[in-house]
Amino acid sequence: MPSSTTFIEDLLAQMTLEEKIGQLNQMNGGPDLDPDLLRMGQVGSVILDAGPSDGPGSSEARRAEWANHLQRLALQARVPIPLLLARDVIHGFRTVFPIPLAQAAAFDPELSRAAAEMAAREATAAGIKWTFAPMLDIARDPRWGRIAEGNGEDPVLGARLAAALVHGFQGPDMSGPERLVACAKHFAGYGAAEGGRDYENAEISEPTLRDVYLPPFESAVRAGVGTVMCAFVDLNGIPATANRHLLTDILRGEWHFEGFVVSDWTSIPELVYHGVAEDEAHAAYLALHAGVDMDMAGMAYLNTLARSVREGRVPMEEVDAAVRRVLEVKRRAGLFERPFADPSRAARDVLTPEARQLARRFACQSMVLLKNEGNLLPLQGFRRILVAGPFLHARDELFGTWALDGRAEDVLPLDEALRQVAPEGVELWFADWADLALRRANEADAVVLLMGEHPTRSGENSNVSDLGLPPGQPEFIAAVAALGRPTVLVVFAGRPLAIAREVAQVQAVLYAWHPGIEGGAALGEILFGQASPGGRLPVTFPRATGQVPIYYNHKNSGRPLGPDRGFQSRYVDLPSSPLFPFGYGLTYTAFEYANLRLSGEVMRGRLEISADITNVGDRFGREVVQLYIRDRVGSLTRPVRELKDFQAVELRPGETRRVTFILREEQLAFTRADGTRGVEPGTFYVWVASDSQRGLRGEFRI
């Protein structure tokens, strides 16, 4: 094959203006898709639906055949160019892993990479080659439904997971038959939508944008992500879909991104509603000029660009540049050499025992133990245990948001899963309505309550004004707790919920998120001590809805948060501290931190920071050791703490291990008052800690 440049230029030379614009047009692959548009070269990408619902073989094999059918139509065009077939493969395909926010709670980039790799293997077996993932939006307001789809509130954790997910989806070579082209979304600032309402506006200062919201995206670009999706959000008065500063100056100019940018669903014509475009043609011009290469389902490019080019309103050079980028990603994805899927792969690569095992392990490691008074968990020594609540028979409710291809029949109902895992001699009683639960609780030795929010209550445009549990559940919990039985509260959710009252009423709280296809078995293993909860909070938990937005890496005011005294930052009806801080999570053992050492008092390029971590409990355990810093004086105000690194260690009872971090000078850089990025001399605090509010503190200078 000729060089990539020659190959792409030869293709461009053969194409008419309309055919070029066709490569910039993405359409939904539903029943309304006109096959003639494919034959005429008017479509560059199709969002792949399930295809025909009948016929022999698995649904994945039928979808692969449907994908091949669409490719054959596209290859009948005058200039045959394969389609890039896409789908939302967000946290698994047929094997549904924990929601992304839960995955972040594992603080384990390697597990995230492995899950993305497994999702890619399954999705490509169904003919899919492009996923609209990972979502990398920093979210500080849990009212926003899409917090479930991202990695939480911290840019360093988000950046580590961004690279891992891109490597998992794409591998070392995205042309591999089991690899997907990844898409970093939503660029940028989408998680800062006002009021936690999806699609709303956001006001983010340039330093905060660069230091908080952009690092995960830059990490994805450094990892070689093939595509980027722009956000719906109006950022500082310029919608992201028309924001040349984001899409050209930063993404391509500063970061040298070489892939292509796709709009979000119809976000190009929506520029008219934003009030920055007069009509669809004007919107198409603004988006193309800003750097949006492909129009997702909006038809604005297909409908208007050819005329705009011919009338001199859109430069031909901008169309050609966008087409080059789309064709180059298709070339890198191997589509010109292997446009067709292998339907036989579905029988061997989808929903394998290996995939289920990984999903169960991930679910165990993502669940966060928030409270364990008197070491109630794991449940041992109890003969009769009542399990009650609305999630009792949950199946696909365990999937969470954006699990388009998971199937309820693949999931063992939660009560059945618990029954299979329960130790011999333990009698489980089940009740899914309150009156029966209250009667049985009087006779039980312990109670497990399965509460939380349905998956449709989180995700895109599923925002809430109240972070409490759904109506009826708080009353259910209070009534059971009043009976005085040892009670465990298990919460299934796609966001942090404000559960201060419920936490106070029960003896143990396990936050299970929406844990995926193996969530029931994983929960059983944790409840009965066959596994330990491994999660730490990737996002701050508020005491009440009125406390949000709340996040650990906030700035001090001139009258900082603290014990109530005088006129300072506070609420008169609520403590200012969170219910649970970022990084927090208990285990079935206990860890002690001691002997903090720094390799010097002055950093010269790098600094070694170490501490002894000892398992002082009587069970094997995993601890996530976290490194935080505080820049005490800056030309711009600095956060009270910033996560800079983390390591997980697994220790036997009584075992001590010295954990060492290497802190490099570039990790201390920030956007300074003059707009440049760099490090300023001064004094820094450093903590080796188990969460963002505790730890051993040291000090150094630079």
d(CA 199, CA 300): 20
Residues 343 and 379 in one domain: no
* Cα distance between residue 302 and residue 19, in whole Å: 10
SS3 675: coil
Q: What digits encode the pLDDT tens for the residues 100-151?
A: 999 999 999 999 999 999 999 999 999 999 999 999 999 999 999 999 999 9
Q: What are the angstrom distances between the C-alpha of 282 and each of 130, 246, 317, 460?
A: 29, 19, 17, 28
Bridging pattern class, strands 591-598 and 130-131:
unpaired
Per-residue pLDDT band for 677 (boundaries 50, 70, 90) equals very high
- Is position 578 within any domain? no
Q: Please, which residues bridge with residue 135 across strands? A: 185
Domain span holding position 635: 591-701
pLDDT digits (tens, 9 = 90+) for 303-336: 999 999 999 999 999 999 999 999 999 999 999 9
Query: For 209-245, how does the pLDDT look when each residue is reduced to its tens digit (9 = 90+)?
Result: 999 999 999 999 999 999 999 999 999 999 999 999 9
Has residue 189 been placed in a domain?
yes
56 pLDDT band, cuts 50/70/90, is: low
Cα 460-365-389 angle, rounded to 5 deg: 65
List b or e across 307-332, with b for residues whose CB sees 16 or more CB atoms inside 10 angstroms.
ebbeeeebeeebbeebbbbbbbbbbb
The per-residue DSSP string of 268-318 comes to TTTHHHHTS-SSHHHHHHHHHHHT--BEES--HHHHHHHHHHHTTSS-HHH
CB distance 646 to 626 below 8 Å? yes
- CB burial string 352-361: b at 16+ within 10 A, e below: eeebbebbbb
Band (pLDDT 50/70/90 cuts) for residue 51 is low
The whole-number pLDDT of residue 166 equals 98
The confidence score (pLDDT) of residue 418 equals: 98
Q: What is the pLDDT of residue 634?
A: 97
Instruction: Please indicate whether residue 264 is annotated as part of the active site.
Output: yes
Which band of pLDDT confidence, cut at 50, 70 and 90, is reported for residue 482? very high
Q: What percent of the chain has pLDDT over 90?
A: 94
Q: Are 686 and 632 in contact (CB under 8 A)?
A: no
H helices, E strands: number in the chain: 21, 25
Contacts of 186 (CB under 8 A, 6+ apart): 135, 137, 229, 230, 231, 232, 233, 240, 264
Query: If you average pLDDT over every residue of the chain, what do you get?
Result: 96
CATH of the domain at 512: 3.40.50.1700
Judge whether 324 and 12 are in contact, CB under 8 Å: yes
State residue 559's pLDDT score. 86
Reduce the DSSP state of residue 186 to 3 states and report it: strand
User: Do 141 and 119 share a structural domain?
Assistant: yes
581 found inside a domain:
no
Q: How many domains does the chain have?
A: 4
If asked whether residues 433 and 531 sit together in one domain, one would say: yes
pLDDT of 465 above 90: yes
Active-site residue, from 108, 141, 234, 264: 264
Q: Do residue 209 and residue 137 come from a single domain? A: yes
Is residue 508 included in any domain, yes or no?
A: yes
Instruction: Indicate whether 531 and 391 sit together in one domain.
Output: yes
Q: In this structure, how many other beta carbons lie within 10 angstroms of the beta carbon of residue 279?
A: 12
Handedness of CA 594, 600, 602, 604 (dihedral sign): negative
| Beta strands 25-28 and 295-296, pairing class | parallel
Mean pLDDT of the region 510-516:
98
pLDDT at 2: 63
Query: Do 308 and 358 share a structural domain?
Result: no
**Interval 626-639: pLDDT, tens:** 999 999 999 999 99
Residues 315, 443 within the same domain? no
CATH number at residue 649: 2.60.40.10
What is the C-alpha to C-alpha distance for residues 133 and 182, in angstroms, rounded to an integer? 6
Sheet holding 487-492, edge to edge: 368-372, 508-511, 487-492, 446-452, 384-388, 427-431
| Residue 413 shares a structural domain with residue 532 | yes
Last-in-domain residue among 547, 573, 604: 547
| Inter-CA distances, 435 with 198, 415, 432, Å | 38, 19, 9
Radius of gyration of the chain (CA): 26
User: How far is the C-alpha of 102 from the C-alpha of 455, rounded, in Å?
Assistant: 13
Same domain? For 319 and 414 the reply is: no
Residue 384: strand, helix, or coil:
strand
Q: In this predicted structure, which of 41-50, 174-183, 403-412, 579-588 has the lowest mean pLDDT?
A: 41-50
Average pLDDT over residues 173-194: 98
- Judge whether 575 lies within some domain: no
pLDDT tens, position by position, 394-435: 999 999 999 999 999 999 999 999 999 999 999 999 998 778
* 623 and 517 assigned to the same domain: no
Model pLDDT, residue 432: 83
Residue 84 and residue 69: Cα distance in Å, rounded? 13
**Beta-carbon contacts of residue 121 (< 8 Å; ≥ 6 apart):** 178, 349
Distance between CA atoms of 92 and 111, rounded to whole angstroms?
13
Last residue of a domain, one of 62, 87, 112: 87
pLDDT by residue (tens digit) across 599-656? 999 999 999 999 999 999 999 999 999 999 999 999 999 999 999 999 999 999 999 9
Confidence of residue 564 (pLDDT cuts 50, 70, 90): low
Residue 493: is its pLDDT beyond 70?
A: yes
Looking at residue 435, what is its pLDDT?
80
CA distance 157 to 112: 12
In whole angstroms, give the CA distance from residue 150 to residue 100. Answer: 5
Cβ atoms of 379 and 114 within 8 Å: the answer is no
Average pLDDT (46-67) is 80
The answer to which of 26-40, 78-92, 106-120, 510-524 has the lowest mean pLDDT is 26-40
Q: Quote the pLDDT of residue 570.
A: 83
Amino acid at 567: F
**pLDDT category of residue 31 using cuts at 50, 70 and 90:** confident
Which residues touch 467 (CB under 8 Å, ≥6 apart)?
Answer: 142, 143, 495, 496, 497, 498, 542, 544, 545, 548
Classify residue 207: in a domain, yes or no: yes
Residue 676 has pLDDT above 60, yes or no: yes
> Could you tell me if 44 and 111 lie in one domain?
no
User: In sequence order, which residues have a C-beta less than 8 Å from that of residue 353 and are 6 or more positions away?
Assistant: none
**Do 53 and 122 lie in a common domain?**
no
- Give domain status of residue 9, yes or no: no
CA 65 to chain centre: 31
Whether residue 462 is predicted with pLDDT greater than 80 in this model: the reply is yes
> What are the distances in angstroms from CA 380 to CA 358, 532, 651?
26, 14, 22
Q: Is 226 within the bounds of a domain?
A: yes
Q: Residue 326: phi, psi to the nearest 5?
A: -65, -45
Q: Which of 30, 55, 87 is the last residue of a domain?
A: 87
